[in-house]
Amino acid sequence: MVSETVTIINPTGLHMRPAGLFASTMGKFKSTITIENVENGKPINGKSPMAIMAGGLSCGTEIKITCEGEDEAEALKTAVDLVKSGLGE
């Protein structure tokens, strides 16, 4: 299991399009992907755009991404890079 904390930088937060991009990218990995809002610690399924959107993660929120499975290292790197890049915005 590996994890890393990143800050959401895209201006509108994780709404439909960024959440969709994140979930569909992470869906290609075998590992389970979990996002946690560092402030309130509720775990969110990182492959579910609905769950991500429902998490209400806005710009500036710190999130901890955890990956667990055979391709966890690669999955985590992809996830962190994606969030840091502003999720296509």
Using a 10 angstrom Cβ sphere, with 0-12 exposed, 13-18 middle and 19 or more buried, the burial of residue 17 is: middle
33 beta partners: 67
Among positions 45-74, residues that touch other proteins (CB under 8 A) are: 45, 47-51, 53-54, 56, 58-59
Query: Does residue 88 touch other proteins according to CB under 8 A?
Result: no
Shorter beta-carbon distance to other proteins: residue 31 or 48 = 48
Query: Does residue 38 touch other proteins according to CB under 8 A?
Result: no
The strand pair at 2-7 and 62-68 is best described as antiparallel
User: Which listed residue (15, 34, 58, 80) is catalytic?
Assistant: 15
